Chain A
Amino acid sequence: EDKVVQSPLSLVVHEGDTVTLNCSYEVTNFRSLLWYKQEKKAPTFLFMLTSSGIEKKSGRLSSILDKKELFSILNITATQTGDSAVYLCAVKKGTGTASKLTFGTGTRLQVTL
Chain B
Amino acid sequence: EAGVAQSPRYKIIEKRQSVAFWCNPISGHATLYWYQQILGQGPKLLIQFQNNGVVDDSQLPKDRFSAERLKGVDSTLKIQPAKLEDSAVYLCASSPTGVETQYFGPGTRLLVL
Residues in chain B near residue A92, CB distance under 8 A = 98-100
Q: Which of B31, B45, B89, B106 contacts A97 (CB 8 A)?
A: B31
Question: Shortest Cβ distance from B5 into chain A, in angstroms?
Answer: 11
Q: Once the chains bind, are B100 and A100 in contact (CB under 8 Å)?
A: no
**Which residue in chain A gives the minimum CB-CB distance to B45?**
A100
Q: How far is the CA of A24 from the CA of B27 in the complex (A)?
A: 35
Chain A residues with CB under 8 A of B91: 41-43
A27 to B60, CA, bound (A): 20
Count of B residues near A, CB < 8 Å?
22
Q: Is the CB of B56 within 8 A of A100?
A: yes
Q: With an 8 A cutoff between CB atoms, is B104 at the interface?
A: yes
Shortest distance from the beta carbon of B84 to any chain A beta carbon, whole Å: 21
- B42 contacts A98, C-beta separation under 8 Å: no
Is A41 a contact of B109 with CB atoms below 8 Å?
yes
Interface membership of chain A positions 82-113, coded 1 if the CB is closer than 8 angstroms to chain B and 0 otherwise: 00000010101001111111011110000000
Cα(A103)–Cα(B100), bound, Å? 13
Q: Is the CB of B45 within 8 A of A42?
A: no
Please indicate the chain A residues that have their CB under 8 angstroms from the CB of B31 in the complex. 97
Contact (Cβ within 8 A) B55 A41: no
Chain B's nearest CB lies how many Å from the CB of A45? 8
Question: In the complex, what distance in Å separates the CA atom of A104 from the CA atom of B44?
Answer: 9
**CB-CB under 8 A for A100 and B43, given A41-B109, A42-B91, A42-B107:** no
Which residues of A are interface residues toward B (Cβ below 8 A)?
A: 4, 32, 34, 40-44, 48, 88, 90, 92, 95-101, 103-106
22 cross-chain CB contacts under 8 A: A4-B42, A41-B89, A41-B91, A41-B104, A41-B106, A41-B107, A41-B109, A42-B91, A43-B91, A44-B104, A90-B42, A92-B98, A95-B98, A97-B55, A99-B98, A100-B45, A100-B56, A100-B99, A101-B45, A103-B44, A105-B40, A106-B42
Given A100-B48, A103-B44, 10 further pairs, Cβ under 8 A = A4-B42, A41-B106, A42-B107, A88-B43, A92-B100, A96-B98, A97-B31, A97-B50, A100-B56, A101-B99
